[in-house]
Amino acid sequence: AAAIKRAKEKEGRIDILVNNAGVCRLGSFLDMSDDDRDFHIDINIKGVWNVTKAVLPEMIARKDGRIVMMSSVTGDMVADPGETAYALTKAAIVGLTKSLAVEYAQSGIRVNAICPGYVRTPMAESIARQSNPEDPESVLTEMAKAIPMRRLADPLEVGELAAFLASDESSYLTGTQNVIDGGSTLPETVSVGI
């Protein structure tokens, strides 16, 4: 609430909200502590929920607003071992996006989700360190090899998609899941092709 108050004081109003919260701690479902599970839920769901709830009334009053949710391909489209809590929370963001889009479309509010694959961010580097503390760079290299475009996304590419979803150019989009993953969700898991 304090951050929103400061933003309003500085800018006068909030027209665009980008919910870019995300944490991922690796751990198998049975080994994950309740504290680690709640850590994911508190940041990845409750943080998004609370900020959106604080900003939305002003957008409704103006009958104009754009909300961009940062989800993931993990959870709703694909899954990785050790990312159960992360997958749970990012799938929830897709549901929240669609629900808010339907509920507030007639109030002039557009709500869309971005579903990135692997992006070269501190979080991806943290996952790589958790996966292989001795050689995290090899994990990032293997991630890139598994992506049809053979690279991780640059954070600026995801930012450009967020800017598009917040712009007038996307004025007829709401409730969408916008995948930006270099094609990683496209291949069959077992290929019998050429």
DSSP H or E stretch at residue 109:
strand 109-116
pLDDT per residue as tens digits for the range 29-41: 999 999 999 999 9
Under CATH, which architecture does the 13-117+153-180 domain have? 3-Layer(aba) Sandwich (3.40)
pLDDT per residue as tens digits for the range 183-194: 999 987 665 656
Longest CA span, the chain: 59
pLDDT per residue as tens digits for the range 118-176: 999 999 999 999 999 999 999 999 999 999 999 999 999 999 999 999 999 999 999 99
pLDDT of 99 higher than 90? yes
**Residue ranges covered by each domain of the chain:** 13-117+153-180
Provide mean pLDDT across the span 92-104. 99
Residue 92: pLDDT band with limits 50, 70, 90: very high
* pLDDT at res. 116: 98
**How many angstroms separate the Cα of 46 from the Cα of each of 53, 100, 105?**
10, 15, 22
Concatenated DSSP letters of 121-165: SHHHHHHHHHH-TT-HHHHHHHHHHHSTTSSPBPHHHHHHHHHHH
- Cβ(123)–Cβ(23) below 8 Å: yes
pLDDT per residue as tens digits for the range 48-61: 999 999 999 999 99
Active centre residues (catalytic): 86
* pLDDT at res. 8: 87
Q: Could you tell me what percent of the chain has a pLDDT over 70? A: 97
For residue 2, report the phi and psi dihedrals to the nearest 5 degrees. -65, -40
Residue 104 identity = Y
